Structure 1
Amino acid sequence: MSKLTLARRLARYACELVADEIPEQVVSCVRRRFLDSLACALGANEAGPVKAAIALAAQTPQPASSVFGTGLRTTPELAAFANGTMVRFLDYNDGYMGLEPGHPSDNIPGCLALAEAEGASGRELIAAIVVAYEIQMRLQDAASLNKRGWDHVNYINVAMAAAASRLLKLDEARTEQAINIALSAHLAMRQVRSGALSDWKGCSAANAARNAIFAANLARHGMTGPSPVFEGEMGLFKQVTGEFELDVDSFGSADNGRFAILKSLTKTFPTNGELHTAVWAGIDLRERIADLSTVEAIHIETSEFNRRVLADSPEKWRPRTRETADHSLPYNVARALLDGDITLASYSEEQIADPRAIALMKCTTVSEDPGLTKLFPRYLANRVTVTLISGEELSSEMISGPGSLETPMSDADFERKFCKMAQPHISCAAQNEVLAFISGLERQTSYAPLFRAMSTLLI
């Protein structure tokens, strides 16, 4: 008997996970990630890419899937793209750092769009989300994409194709074909996160989810895809990642309880996750510096990844767009020193052009600390040292922070984040309706109440 392809083994996992056997701890985690995603979506309502995605979806009215904040219903693919852009735009949704970074909650809008279109129960929606997290995060642990010039959303191609196939009730063979189509046909380049970042930085993941749903629907109707898509002579291993092993038999199950979603991280700032500890260090130092005009130099010691990705080009040292600023290590430390916080307003045009921030960035240097690199990716650590004109040095090292595995956000934290982002857009009554819906997510049989509660969003 020939060895099963990796795509087939992933398909088997997606098909065989029993929804009713998912532990309560995991179900609770899904509820938190779902609410966190809704908070992010609410905060992005004024974003240009969101408006563009909604305008596109409006051109294809269908009764299948709803778009947050509107009365619009469209195809699952276009709803997944519009809602996914909302969730991802602020860089405020959850994340995970393996050999490759990524945001597994990018799969949630796609799963929701298909669950609504197919009439899937809340319990089945949760199971699909668990499948997507499991596959994406295990792939992130297995191999780096960014070092070879490819974007992390390529792993969403696989994860979302598997989750979509489950919601479409495809069998193992057709789920394998969905994975084959999604991965081979939609490889995204890392240029999306290099240099001056564009609108597409916040849309790339949503596009991967859209493509994966399309692939699953093709497989549903009998379309086959290139195989073996991982192991083939022109497959992912040889062309993109290099060979890696993935022990699918050890994936999360009711028997072992080792579900990847439990290791995902959440954010207290609307910015890149790997620099959160640098922000906390900057906030700590701000409280110890009486007068920022006395700052002569700032030195940030960080991991190899952070130096290469977050301080890699002239644009990161003088950002001019929101997308570049929230991925700039020097800029975020400067704003933390100036404001003692990072908020949505930190990335306004006025703040990005703030002469005080520019002056602080000009006296900033960044270097790799091999010791911090050794801690990575288990700990996303940073150290910030400020030298004052007097010659005094003040240093702050942060190994971990709120939202990490060591200090996870509580249910109350997620509710506060949601209400903070929702307050400008939906009423208190509507907020409570959303919270009530999510608290019983596994018991839901219709998603109309959720979209009604979000429908007063002003876009």
Structure 2
Amino acid sequence: MPDDLKTIVRNRFLDSLACILGAYGAAPVKASVAYASSIPGGAASIFGTTLKTTPECAAFANGVMVRFLDYNDGYMGLEPGHPSDNIPACLAIAQAENAGGDELIAAIVLAYEIQMRFQDAASLNKQGWDHVNYVNISAVVAAAKLMKLSEAQIEQAINISLSGHLAMRQVRSGTLSDWKGCSAANAARNALFSAQLARHGMTGPAPIFEGRMGFQNQVTGEFFLDPADFGSVAGGDLAIRRSLTKTFPTNGELHTAVWAGIELRNRIGEVSDIQSIRIETSAFNKRVLADGADKWRPRTRETADHSLPYNVARALIDGDISIESYSPENITDPVAIALMDKTTVVVDPELTALFPKHLANRVKVTLKSGESLISEVISGPGSVETPMTQVQFEAKFHKMATPHLSEGAQESVLDFVSKLDQQSGYDSLFAAMAGAAG
């Protein structure tokens, strides 16, 4: 692989580690680790602990950590998704199978390629299905590749993984629960289970995509997807190059609204001077991020970080979005509630036309004086046009790591990731990431 592609993978890997550290101690993480501890004796490690368990349990627990803060990378095609959800599954299998870092990198690139191509091909959410159903496909193929399964076994692994583990979109509707951050980790867990069954000769229903009762007829509707058109190292156009990274621990489609709110905050004297707020956005954002009363009165972290009105209100108040933005005190902050009561969200045809290439938002604030202020942001840091730099990825890692790891441990992690393609094992990474548990 070319060096720049390896750098992209290392950055996505480091970004995932930053998200993992930020999730240490969270309630869903504690529950996931407690479950994994009941199945000891495996060959895969869990971050923040000295525990080893089965690859499936490790993929789930570590996947919950990656996803908890909604801070990991993402991609928007006809369907949204987070391709880095595949990384914990790839790592768990790589560790269990004694696969080297170069094989791990190849598996991650493959997983991104498959998930993002499916995201481009067909929408799931419009039919009431969750985007993690594409992780059923991407993670099982990446795992099977690391396990060195045959082509016939990989086909059966896909059949089992996709047919047996479909997730409903209700996980992201209404008041959101812990499972919002666990759904993809569960898809990865199921994918590893399916790959291991296929290794031992289990077969699955086929044709899984085109069959009369298959994926297209039951879930997505008809779509065209030819693997011959996928990117490759030789031919280029690899999808991982188009994945987006996050500068805020919140939903990716509303990042530009946050940037607009921050920019307006610098032009407004006091938030008490605000008469009304109008957010102009894409049809997708209106449908997903402002879809009901819960988004104007979030009661959970998971609902708040998917609320367009809440995030704009918080950006106007604080001039930033951070982990603390979703504390119970901030979610119930009377000032934020008052601003949300002054907020309307409308679909703008021009911004909808830019979607999904650009996740644009426009925020208009009218002051009590009658003055109107407008900020429109088409794209921001972490986008394809303005990718995060190596310095920014490392800064994000240090920010999340400082409460948990010593400076020496942080440097050990950075050194490990910088040589990821040369690694022959992963125990030293988990030891450095263990923190107090180590």
Q: Same fold, TM exceeding 0.5?
A: yes
| Residue of structure 1 in register with 2:320 after alignment | 341
Among 229, 232, 244, the residue aligned to 1:265: 244
Moved over 4 A (4+): none
- The unaligned stretches of length 5 or more in structure 2 are none
Q: Counterparts in 2 of 1:280-429, with a 5 A limit? A: 280-429=259-408
Among 64, 69, 72, the residue aligned to 1:90: 69
| Whole-Å separation in 1 of the counterparts to 2:22 and 2:192 | 25
CA contact (8 A) 1:116 1:446 kept: yes
| Residue of structure 1 in register with 2:21 after alignment | 42
| Whole-Å separation in 2 of the counterparts to 1:159 and 1:376 | 24
| Residue of structure 1 in register with 2:215 after alignment | 236
| Whole-Å separation in 1 of the counterparts to 2:252 and 2:411 | 29
| Whole-Å separation in 1 of the counterparts to 2:327 and 2:215 | 39
The root-mean-square deviation of aligned C-alpha atoms, in Å, is 0.8
| Residue of structure 2 in register with 1:220 after alignment | 199
| Residue of structure 2 in register with 1:71 after alignment | 50
- The residue identity in structure 1 corresponding to 2:140 is A
- 1:56-96 deviation per Cα after TM superposition (whole angstroms, max 9, x unaligned): 00001123100001010000000000000000000000000
Shift of 1:390: 1.1
CA contact (8 A) 1:298 1:385 kept: yes
Q: Counterparts in 2 of 1:29-178, with a 5 A limit? A: 29-178=8-157
| Whole-Å separation in 2 of the counterparts to 1:304 and 1:332 | 18
Shift of 1:429: 0.2
Shift of 1:256: 1.2
| Residue of structure 2 in register with 1:440 after alignment | 419
Query: Helix, strand or coil for the counterpart of 1:253?
Result: coil
| Whole-Å separation in 2 of the counterparts to 1:386 and 1:200 | 35
- The residue identity in structure 2 corresponding to 1:318 is R
Among 225, 235, 253, the residue aligned to 1:256: 235
Q: When the two structures are aligned, how many residues end up with a matched partner?
A: 438
Identity %: 69
- 1:288-343 deviation per Cα after TM superposition (whole angstroms, max 9, x unaligned): 00121110000000000000000001100100100000000000000000000000
- The unaligned stretches of length 5 or more in structure 1 are 1-21
Please say if 1:279 is aligned against 2:258: yes
- Call closer, same or farther: CA 1:297–1:458 in 2, change over 3 Å: farther
Shift of 1:23: 2.5
| Whole-Å separation in 2 of the counterparts to 1:288 and 1:381 | 20
- The residue identity in structure 1 corresponding to 2:364 is T
Q: Counterparts in 2 of 1:193-212, with a 5 A limit? A: 193-212=172-191
Among 215, 222, 225, the residue aligned to 1:246: 225
- 1:220-273 deviation per Cα after TM superposition (whole angstroms, max 9, x unaligned): 000000000000000010000011111211212122111100000000000000
CA contact (8 A) 1:272 1:327 kept: yes
Q: TM-score normalised to the size of structure 2?
A: 0.99
Query: Helix, strand or coil for the counterpart of 1:256?
Result: coil
